[in-house]
Structure 1
């Protein structure tokens, strides 16, 4: 693979991250405005779910593609990024699970954990710490 392909995939990856941040931020309002019992506001649900799923799928797919292109040669902080990504996905799935057994406070806590994980990922990428 040449550098142009790698750069294009990196641009798609970062665009997907921007889309994910936007989707998480916009969807967060559904846990604070127009909630119905313990359920998030249903307005625009399909659009928000689609936006979030698209962005997370693109992040994972382009991330794996970049990993293969780099022959799995990664820095130690990369593993923390992967764990935080999984924490974010898990927290978001808890926050928006389609069941009444999840209390609104638990949903908001899941959203908060996802936001913290997302900020930590962005911080790791920007700082690129050297654990050596």
Structure 2
């Protein structure tokens, strides 16, 4: 199998896994919460899977960019910004401090979910700006 195709398959699978993890981990903000903290059940597993999928997305994305000689379309920059928004929202939503209210955690999770869905839509539509 061609290297670029294999990397694309790994990249897309990682994105699908991240979407499932994001949805499943979001349930911890709605069921079994303890004060302002999400449900601690399975926290280590969810964090591990989320970090693994995000790492695979970043590594395969960089390798795919290198294979394309870093030539990108204009919508790619929007995708990168949305990815950073998703990461920062997830960091806010799941930070281990009691100073963040549960409603703020839920909002951060919602923003991350919308950003990931927007990234998927951008990739599917591939709009031409300009």
The TM tier, using the shorter chain, reads over 0.9
Q: Which residue of 1 aligns with 2:20?
A: 22
Runs of at least 4 residues of structure 1 off by over 2 A?
none
Aligned residues: 130
What is the CA–CA distance in structure 2 between the aligned matches of 1:41 and 1:64, rounded to whole Å? Answer: 34
Counterpart CA distance in 2 for 1:31 and 1:8 is 35
Compute the displacement of 1:62 (Å).
Answer: 0.3
Quote how far apart the aligned CAs of 1:23 are. 0.6
Partner of 2:90: 92
Shift of 1:95: 0.3
Give how far 1:10 is off: 0.5
Structure 2: which 5+ runs fail to align? Answer: none
Task: Please tell me the root mean square deviation across aligned C-alpha atoms, in Å.
Answer: 0.8
TM-score (norm 1): 0.97
Aligned to 1:68: 66
Alignment gaps of 5+ in structure 1: none
SS in 1 for 2:2: helix
